[in-house]
Amino acid sequence: MHRYRTHTCGGLRKADSGNTVRLSGWVHRVRDHGGVLFIDLRDHYGLTQVVADPDSAAFKMAEKVRSEWVIRVDGKVRVRPEGTTNPEMPTGEVELYATEIETLSEAKELPVPVFGEPDYPEDLRLQYRFLDLRRETLHKNIMTRLAVIKSIRKRMEAAGFNEFDTPIMTASSPEGARDFLVPSRIHPGKFYALPQAPQQYKQLLMVSGFDRYYQIAPCFRDEDPRADRTTEFYQLDVEMSFVEQEDVFQTMEPILTGVFEEFAGGKTVTKGWPRIPYDEAIAKYGTDKPDLRNPIVMQDVTEHFRGSGFKVFANMIEKDPKVRVWAIPAPKGGSRAFCDRMNGWAQKEGQPGLGYIFWREEEGSAGAGPVAKNVGPERAAAIQKQMSLATGDACFFTAGDPARFYKFAGLARDEVARELKLVDGKAFALCWIVDFPFFEWNED
């Protein structure tokens, strides 16, 4: 018999009943049920329930083991008693009756428990990262990442791409952030730069005649971390020869759709990605990376406020031809409490507030709220009609130069959807954003 194991902790099944086996792993938890000890033994592959009763030769050792000890267990596989099976575990139909337990490594009291995955401060989790990485969620995330990369490689190679590795120590080149610099030992006073992207090398490959390039490329950018950006990350980097934009779409869309479908966990994935021009994305969603699971679409309602009694907006429109008024619909958000809550949210975001109209049965299409009172019933009804809203709905408004407020409008759109639970959490909604501007105007 092998020194440490004949099977993994995720490999035993009902067909193994009656066999003598050996397992090694970490003690996930220990339970004492009336003198009978149950040990959940864990390794990379899964969990197996180990049983030791007072008649077992391993019972005295089983009484000593604690969480995260590393042990070797010999025993006989048996079917669990009726009513005690666990259908959520691959090994849930069997258990290992222990005949011998050997301690391979003891563990002191844990500063960060592994079982149960309690929420601990990030600094403590990083200090004890070797324990944190034993948690089921993180272990699963890491293995999923590996599986995603494997799937990408398979699909890219099937599409005729070749994977290339490019140098990490390179010369500095203009990119979107600052470089991480590495001093040169043999060239004092000079520095290497870690690549923000493998731009120069992949272009060198393309002009050298290598037709289809891809790389799971490490990128390093010396910038402040954000929700969608970190100092070190990996990206799928792609180049193709003698192609147009449509060729890229036709090649990459099925690859990425297939990867999403493989790992979607039952969620729907967009078939036939919509192609949204940049300007349209900004006007409808307030961002060039819209969450299309959110059904809210913003619209321009400037003309309804031009010359209206709502002087705040009307005066802005009269003085500056760049000023537009955008409307953010809020289906089922037609209550003063919700509108006030959104107004308070806007103020926390550094804005003076959010104008709004909400429609109730009492006022009908004339709407309610300060904006409705000032624009009058006809304009309020026209806004309701344009936005396809009904009784019980609301609409929020932002005004000014869109170049200055579109990001806030996009955040407001997302906040309305979150508050009203409009986002479809059972879907991945993918799209192409096209026709990006080559330049942006700088007022300075």
Residue-wise pLDDT for 353-382, tens only, equals 899 999 999 999 999 999 999 999 999 999
The pLDDT of residue 379? 97
253 and 397 housed in the same domain: no
203, 231, 263 - which closes a domain = 263
54, 77, 105 - which closes a domain = 105
Q: Is residue 440 part of a domain?
A: no
23 and 75 housed in the same domain: yes
51, 77, 105 - which closes a domain = 105
Structural domains in the chain (count): 3
Q: Is residue 123 part of a domain?
A: no
Share of the chain above pLDDT 90, in %: 91
Q: Is residue 384 part of a domain?
A: yes
Task: Name the H helices within 264-326.
Answer: 278-285, 302-305, 311-319
The pLDDT of residue 162? 97
407 and 310 housed in the same domain: yes
pLDDT digits (tens, 9 = 90+) for 61-118: 999 999 999 999 999 999 999 999 999 999 999 999 999 999 999 999 999 889 988 8
Q: Which domain holds residue 154?
A: 141-263
234 and 382 housed in the same domain: no
Here the CATH number for the domain that contains residue 82 is: 2.40.50.140
404 and 283 housed in the same domain: yes
Q: Is residue 345 part of a domain?
A: yes
**Long-range pairs of 316-323 with CB within 8 A, sequence gap ≥ 24:** 316/399, 316/400, 317/399, 320/401, 322/401, 322/402, 322/403, 323/399, 323/400, 323/401
Q: Is residue 422 part of a domain?
A: yes
202 and 246 housed in the same domain: yes
230 and 330 housed in the same domain: no
Phi and psi based region of residue 223 (left: phi greater than 0; alpha: psi -120 to 50; beta: remaining): beta
What average pLDDT does the structure give for the chain? Answer: 95
Check pLDDT > 90 for residue 180: yes
Q: Is residue 293 part of a domain?
A: yes
Check pLDDT > 80 for residue 228: no
Check pLDDT > 90 for residue 119: no
pLDDT digits (tens, 9 = 90+) for 409-420: 999 999 999 999
Directed axis angle between helix 136-158 and helix 245-263, to 10°? 140
Here the CATH number for the domain that contains residue 245 is: 3.30.930.10
Q: Is residue 110 part of a domain?
A: no
Here the CATH number for the domain that contains residue 306 is: 3.30.1360.30
Check pLDDT > 90 for residue 174: no
pTM: 0.88
